[in-house]
Amino acid sequence: MAQQKPDIVVKVRDLKTAFGAHVVHDGLNLDVRRGEILGVVGGSGTGKSVLLKAIIGLLKPQSGTIEINGQDRATMTDAEDRLSRRDWGVLFQDGALFTSLTVAQNIQVPLREHFHMSPSLMKDLALSKLQMAGLSLDAAAKFPSDLSGGMRKRAALARSLALDPDLLFLDEPTAGLDPIGAAAFDELVQELCRSLGLTVFLVTHDLDTLVRVCDRIAVLGDQKILINAPLEEVMAFDHPWVQEYFHGPRARAAGAKD
């Protein structure tokens, strides 16, 4: 009988990250609940992407603990770490597609890393993920340079879904997209979350994305998570940056579009 996974998918406790003498996070705590879309927002330099990289293991924290699906990442063996990575996918800020590979080959990279399967099966799976991300099949043979910015984001999303993960990390997924493209991408993420039962950790600066798709919003500031709550509670939180971001001119403009 398979062990039931915990309701808290990501648990961060007393995290400290630093680059030399520059401390980015100090005493940071965060929970990501199963099945939610959590938006992570904060001012420039607060370490949104640094937090994501620490959670997925690309950056080693100075202290604190990080658990994914109940497993402490610091105490995992290499085999346990490799196995756990099948449970989550990552879409990096710029897509991070391999420019020398076609879209289909990019999607197949995680499959080659974790499984031994026939070329025909890998091709079928890549095409399936391509369609899941809202791209046509003819995009499979194209190179990243042949795609628009929005299509590259979707190709990177397709690769992040290659291993059928239950957790997605998205780093500024709508950055550089026009408002229509950003709204379409948000809708796609929301639909995938519903249909596949995904949990999504979404780093963004886009207020429209926060309003459209996020169940809760974690605000980074003063080296910690200031608040992690639904939009209404965050908007009422008494902190200068939070009030400016959620009630300033940009917020009023966003509200006027609704």
Q: How confident is the model at residue 254 (pLDDT cuts 50, 70, 90)?
A: low
pLDDT the model gives residue 56? 93
State phi, psi for 161 to the nearest 5 degrees.
Answer: -95, 0
What domains lie within the chain, and their CATH numbers? 10-257 (3.40.50.300)
Residue 34 near residue 199, CB atoms below 8 Å: yes
The CA radius of gyration of the chain, in Å to the nearest whole number, is 18
DSSP string of the chain, one letter each residue: -PPPPPSEEEEEEEEEEEETTEEEEEEEEEEEETT-EEEEEE-TTS-HHHHHHHHHTSS--SEEEEEETTEEGGG--HHHHHHHGGGEEEE-TT----TTS-HHHHHHHHHHHH----HHHHHHHHHHHHHHTT--GGGTTS-GGGS-HHHHHHHHHHHHTTT--SEEEEESTTTT--HHHHHHHHHHHHHHHHHHT-EEEEE---HHHHHHH-SEEEEEETTEEEEEE-HHHHHT---HHHHHHHHSHHHHHHHHH-
Give me the mean pLDDT over the 213-240 stretch.
96
d(CA 131, CA 137): 7
What is the model's pLDDT at position 256? Answer: 43
Render pLDDT for 130-168 as a digit per residue (tens, 0 to 9).
999 989 899 999 999 999 888 999 999 999 999 999 999
Q: Would you say residue 17 has pLDDT above 50? A: yes
The CA–CA distances, whole Å, from 20 to 17, 59, 61, 62, 102 equal 10, 13, 12, 10, 39
| 134/22 Cα distance (integer angstroms) | 41
pLDDT at 253 over 70: no
Mean pLDDT of 78-94: 85
